[in-house]
Amino acid sequence: MRKIRLKRILLMILIWYVLGISRFMILFVPFKKIASYMGKSRYETKYFLTETEQRRARKLGKMISYVSDCTPWESKCFVQALTGFMLLRLFHIPSTIYFGVRKQPDDSLVAHAWLRAGDQVITGDEERIFFIPVAKYGQYAKAYN
């Protein structure tokens, strides 16, 4: 029981640090460099994952959402999606980051990012339905068009 609790705490600490790295990258690294790290533009990774990969990705998404509420910096959708992408890559689980936009009543645009692994959205799922996807980046496994 203690071993499981310790693993969970260590994973939460790792997520907290990667959220910080993601926020730093978004603020100070040109998007072109971040995009090259995220993989090929307009490509998606496979929709099928093993049960173990699906379970790990789902658990990671929930923990990212929880830990992002505990950071002293802003950890919104893109920070969470980039964090999930980095951690899934660490665990050799293919994923795709999507970017979407929505027009506001005052004609301004609002953006959103979400992360998909297999057939499930790991981060940013709640708001995703209100946005039109305009870009996607997939990496790690063979990308499918």
**Cβ burial, residue 138 (10 Å; 0-12/13-18/19+):** buried
Judged against a pLDDT cut of 70, whether residue 143 lies above it is answered with no
Within 1-145, where are the H helices?
Answer: 2-28, 31-38, 51-68, 77-90, 125-128
Give the mean pLDDT of 36-45. 88
Check residue 124 and give its pLDDT.
94
Q: For 72-124, what is each residue's pLDDT tens digit?
A: 999 999 999 999 999 999 999 999 999 999 999 999 999 999 999 999 999 99
| Predicted TM-score (pTM) of this structure | 0.90
Check residue 68 and give its pLDDT.
97
Give the mean pLDDT of 121-139. 93
